[in-house]
Amino acid sequence: MKKIALWTGIACVFIIASCSAPKELRRSQAENARCDSALSAKSAAYDRLKLNSENNEKLAAAQIESLNNQLKQQQGTNDQMLNQLKNLSVISNTQAESIQKSLAYIRELNGSIARKDSLNMALVMNLKGAIGNLDDKDINIKIDKGVVYIDISDKLLFNTGRYEVTERAREILGKVAKVLKNQPSIQFMVEGHTDPVPFSRGLLVDNWDLSVKRATSVVRILQNDYGIPPARMTAAGRGQYVPIASNDTDEGRARNRRTRIVIQPELDQFFELLERPH
């Protein structure tokens, strides 16, 4: 009986051992698989780190090359600036005297312009004083860009559509002529201006013809009656093409019908300045 119990115990041990062996094997296999998976993950991570390191090295190398190129370009720019400064230094040294002469010329020219402006202002004051208290709408004297203009309304000089100077106009032109005659170096232009209303009479075919005849009539008065040398005068007809007001109203057209005396600048003096060695 005891033997039977002993063999029965031994059999149970073998049965239990035979049942537990596959479980241990499966656990070992699972653990081995986990180890393999972890090893593979670490190996992949290592490969990635190695690749990133190589990429970083390439990126760093590219950045270094780019910086080197920028430094070379900057150095080239600096060299160019230094050369320009050297050239500028040479120019400044060799042309300093010429620059000084040019500055002196500019100062002289500015002084001449200032003197001319003063003379023009004195001329305007003399003209206004000689003419008296005429309405500015009928006669206007001004300076614009260094040129003196005397605008005389045609209603003071001519009858409508006519170019013969009226008796009243002769008195006004006499006062202007007295001032101009006292300035023998002054040359001037007499311009006739009209409005655009169509005009035709006898040999005069349009406003341009009328403006020319009015200008020559004034010039002849200044020459024949007041002794101004004709070489100092120019007669010109501008027609309706240089208006000073809108032609859409009666008032505007009246302003545009005028005779203008333009005191020409003494260009010979400025040409002498330009031709003078500096």
Q: What one-character-per-residue DSSP string does 13-73 give?
A: HHHHHHHHHHHHHHHHHHHHHHHHHHHHHHHHHHHHHHHHHHHHHHHHHHHHHHHHHHHHH
- On whether both 161 and 227 belong to a single domain, the answer is yes
d(CA 38, CA 174): 121
In the chain, the amino acid numbered 219 is V
Q: What domain range is 216 assigned to?
A: 119-274
Q: Are residues 265 and 128 in the same domain?
A: yes
**Residue 126 reports pLDDT greater than 80:** no
Q: Are residues 82 and 144 in the same domain?
A: no
Average pLDDT over residues 20-38: 58
8 and 125, same domain (yes or no): no
Q: Are residues 85 and 48 in the same domain?
A: yes
How many angstroms separate the CA atoms of 173 and 152, rounded? 10
User: Cα 231 to the chain's mean position, in Å?
Assistant: 41
pLDDT of residue 211: 96
Average pLDDT, the chain: 74
Residue with tokens 């042309």: 95
d(CA 159, CA 113): 40
**Claim to verify: residue 80 and residue 159 sit in the same structural domain:** no
Helix 167-181 to helix 96-131 angle (10° resolution) is 140
Confidence of residue 11 (pLDDT cuts 50, 70, 90): very low
pLDDT in tens, 249-276: 999 999 999 999 998 766 555 455 445 5
pLDDT digits (tens, 9 = 90+) for 194-233: 999 998 888 899 999 999 999 999 999 999 999 999 999 9
Interval 167-179: pLDDT, tens: 888 888 998 998 8
What would the pLDDT profile of 127-150 be if each residue is shown by its tens digit? 777 777 665 678 888 888 888 899
Q: How far is CA 68 from the centre of its chain?
A: 41
Q: List, for residues 39-82, the tens digit of each pLDDT value.
A: 666 666 666 656 655 555 565 566 666 656 766 676 666 666 65
Give this prediction's pTM.
0.56
> Residue 141 pairs with which residues in a beta bridge?
150
The band of 14, judged by pLDDT with boundaries at 50, 70 and 90, is very low
Position 3 scores a pLDDT of 44
Lowest mean pLDDT among 27-31, 72-76, 115-119, 161-165: 27-31
Asked whether residue 263 falls in the same domain as residue 145, the answer is yes
> What residues does 260 pair with on adjacent strands?
151, 191
Q: Answer yes or no: do 127 and 90 share one domain.
A: no
Per-residue confidence (pLDDT) for residue 140, from 0 to 100: 87
pLDDT at 4 exceeding the cut of 50: no
Q: How far apart are CA 270 and CA 200, in angstroms?
A: 43
| pLDDT score recorded for residue 192 | 96
Are residues 75 and 123 both part of a single domain?
Answer: no
